[in-house]
Amino acid sequence: MDKFIIQGPRRLQGDVEISGAKNAVLPLMAASLLARGESAIENVPDLRDVRTMIKLLRILGAEASLDGSVLSINTKSANGIEAPYDLVRTMRASIYVLGSLLATHGKARVSLPGGCAWGPRPIDLHLMAIERLGARVKLDHGYIYASSKRLKGTEIAFPVSSVGATANAMMAASLARGTTVIRNAALEPEVSELAKALVSGGVAIDGIGTSTLTIEGTQSLNPFRHRVIPDRIEAGTYAAAAVITGGSVRLHRCDPSHMEAVFNALKASGAEIKIENESVLVEGPKRAEPGHIVTREYPGFPTDMQAQIMAVLCRAKGFSTIKDTIYPDRFTHVPELRRFGADIRLDGNLAVINGVPSFQGAPVMATDIRASSALILAGLVAEGTTEVLRVYHIDRGYDRIVEKLRGLGAEIQRVSD
Ligand code: EPU
């Protein structure tokens, strides 16, 4: 298994290009199954999760090939209906094919994803949504069996805002007979991108970007061509890297309109953030000011940046707090950050942090995508050598991270054990 070796501390300086958003491309790939023919997705990042989804599409009978950053998916022979455990267990987003398979074939067999690295992540709302649309759902031997004649438009009111359940409901409703109204729809930009792609395939969707989506189902979707938005979490991670190292990093091809909460948090820690025409310049302070972060649904502070901001605040000048209201257990990075010398106390979903002036390099273990990036940030400023083990988590969600960090002056290399 590969690991990263980082020599610190280093101040990052320079330019970095932000790749397409992982969490936007995965639902678009699942949505391609709703159309017969060839869809194309542009600005696709080269990630392990994208490759896993390509594998899944192929298992379902589609042809899928990534040429540079353009992904072509031809669904002419996509007649499969099963997403097997072996793939779903490595990537929960495989659940996205549930809505599209059911809507297209009238049946789907999708493995239950099970827990994830930091705790339970239920899918009850995905199931509720397709049941509301008329599907029969049965759980058996670790699989979801869903079936129905043509789905029927309905009202779906989510008790909790869920990115995945909103996306699955939208995909299923796209081919349903009649109108579906989704209430308390997730507001994340990645959800809006899916809606826009469905619209370009011929579905009428009203209320994109709001919490009420009205979807007029169509008999069949036309193949679509869609360009993926920049990854706001990748951009936020490089911005955090600038701040933690007291550096100066220019982010190219990011969309600052998706990043207000993260930029506000970094500004409160003393960073200067200048939004220029095509780029954003992030300049970190010598040492960060402490802060108080609460993760919330978009446009709030994203849970996917919680670990990275924790790395920053662990070296701030005083006491900080971080509360994760989306995933109360998402703290597997805490014991690993302590190995650098961080002083963190956990009380339920609240982390209380006493900033320390310096970190010492250490061997640490990555546990999920975002926790891994937080450990890399810590390694960049730690004295001496840091080894980050289990880097396949990083490969799932960060496009060419070693090259990008080296381009900013980091001393990081990937070695195979
Ligand atoms: N929830 C339920 N029932 C459900 C679904 C969700 O109770 O059926 C709850 C969750 O437990 C959570 C909240 O709803 O408390 C929000 O979860 P959501 O469904 O929005 O998360 P998701 O769709 O499973 C996506 C991202 C995650 C990101 C979350 C929150 C993708 C592929 N994944 O997951 O990204 O953390 O939204 O923003 O889009 C990552 O990229 O590292 C990652 C984990």
Spatial separation of the C-alpha atoms in residues 113 and 338, rounded to whole Å: 30
Residues 246 and 125 in one domain: no
Indicate the number of domains in the chain: 2
Atom 40 (ligand 1): residue with closest C-alpha? Answer: 304
123 lines ligand 1 (CB under 6 A): yes
Mean pLDDT of 47-70: 97
Atom 28 (ligand 1): residue with closest C-alpha? Answer: 304
184 lines ligand 1 (CB under 6 A): no
Select which of 40, 116, 199, 350 is catalytic: 116
* Model pLDDT for residues 181-202, shown as the tens digit of each residue: 999 999 999 999 999 999 999 9
Res. 115 pLDDT band, cuts 50 70 90: low
Residues 248 and 313 in one domain: yes
Residues 89 and 27 in one domain: yes
258 lines ligand 1 (CB under 6 A): no
* Model pLDDT for residues 363-376, shown as the tens digit of each residue: 999 889 999 999 99
**Nearest ligand 1 atom, CA 167:** 23
**Nearest ligand 1 atom, CA 121:** 11
Residues 393 and 310 in one domain: yes
What does the pLDDT read at residue 261?
A: 98
* Model pLDDT for residues 258-297, shown as the tens digit of each residue: 999 999 999 999 999 999 988 999 999 999 999 999 999 9
Spatial separation of the C-alpha atoms in residues 106 and 146, rounded to whole Å: 8
Q: 122 alpha carbon to ligand 1 midpoint, in Å?
A: 9
Whether 116 is a known active-site residue: answer yes
Atom 35 (ligand 1): residue with closest C-alpha? Answer: 304
**Nearest ligand 1 atom, CA 233:** 41
pLDDT at 75 over 70: yes
Residue % of the chain over a pLDDT of 90: 96
**Nearest ligand 1 atom, CA 186:** 20
pLDDT at 119 over 80: no
Q: 149 alpha carbon to ligand 1 midpoint, in Å?
A: 29
Mean pLDDT of 227-232: 98
Mean pLDDT of 19-39: 98
Mean pLDDT of 138-155: 96
pLDDT at 417 over 80: no
pLDDT at 17 over 70: yes
Residues 42 and 186 in one domain: yes
Residues 28 and 147 in one domain: yes
Residues 287 and 152 in one domain: no
Atom 10 (ligand 1): residue with closest C-alpha? Answer: 121
Residues 313 and 221 in one domain: no
What does the pLDDT read at residue 277?
A: 82
Question: What does the DSSP 8-state code read for residue 290?
Answer: P
Mean pLDDT of 12-34: 98
Residues 219 and 332 in one domain: no
Res. 114 pLDDT band, cuts 50 70 90: confident
Which of 94, 162, 367 maximizes ligand 1 atoms within 8 Å of its Cβ, making it the mutation to test the pocket?
Answer: 162
List, as own/partner pairs, every contact residues 35-38 make where C-beta atoms lie below 8 angstroms and the sequence separation is at least 24, other chains included: 35/75, 35/201, 35/220, 35/221, 35/222, 35/223, 35/224, 36/75, 36/76, 36/220, 36/223, 37/74, 37/75, 37/76, 37/222, 37/223, 38/72, 38/73, 38/74, 38/75, 38/223
Q: 260 alpha carbon to ligand 1 midpoint, in Å?
A: 20
Atom 31 (ligand 1): residue with closest C-alpha? Answer: 23
Res. 51 pLDDT band, cuts 50 70 90: very high
Q: Can you read off the two tokens belonging to residue 58?
A: 């192929």
162 lines ligand 1 (CB under 6 A): yes
160 lines ligand 1 (CB under 6 A): yes
pLDDT at 341 over 90: yes
Q: 393 alpha carbon to ligand 1 midpoint, in Å?
A: 17
Of 227, 247, 272, the position where a domain reaches its end is 227
The 3 state secondary structure assigned to 199-252 is: HHCCCEEECCCCCEEEEECCCCECCCEEECCECHHHHHHHHHHHHHCCCEEEEE
Q: 386 alpha carbon to ligand 1 midpoint, in Å?
A: 30
Is the bond into 189 cis (omega within 30 degrees of 0)?
no
- Sign of the alpha-carbon dihedral angle for 7, 9, 14, 16: positive
Of 182, 205, 227, the position where a domain reaches its end is 227
Q: 304 alpha carbon to ligand 1 midpoint, in Å?
A: 10
386 phi/psi in degrees, rounded to 5: -120, 140
Is the bond into 357 cis (omega within 30 degrees of 0)?
no
Residues 291 and 165 in one domain: no
Strands 82-83 and 107-111: parallel
Domain region containing 397:
2-19+230-416
* CATH value at residue 410: 3.65.10.10
Of 194, 227, 260, the position where a domain reaches its end is 227
98 lines ligand 1 (CB under 6 A): no
Which of 19, 23, 298, 332 maximizes ligand 1 atoms within 8 Å of its Cβ, making it the mutation to test the pocket?
Answer: 23
Tokens 């070796």 locate to 5
**Nearest ligand 1 atom, CA 116:** 44
Residues 219 and 257 in one domain: no
Atom 14 (ligand 1): residue with closest C-alpha? Answer: 162
Q: Can you read off the two tokens belonging to residue 120?
A: 């339970």
Cα torsion at 304, 91, 199, 231 (round to 10°)?
Answer: 30
Residues 157 and 269 in one domain: no
Residue scoring higher pLDDT (121 or 170): 170
Mean pLDDT of 41-46: 98
The pTM score is 0.98
296 lines ligand 1 (CB under 6 A): no
159 lines ligand 1 (CB under 6 A): no
Mean pLDDT of the chain: 97
- One-letter amino acid at 24 equals A
pLDDT at 416 over 70: yes
How many CB atoms are located within 10 Å of the residue 412 CB?
22
pLDDT at 117 over 80: no
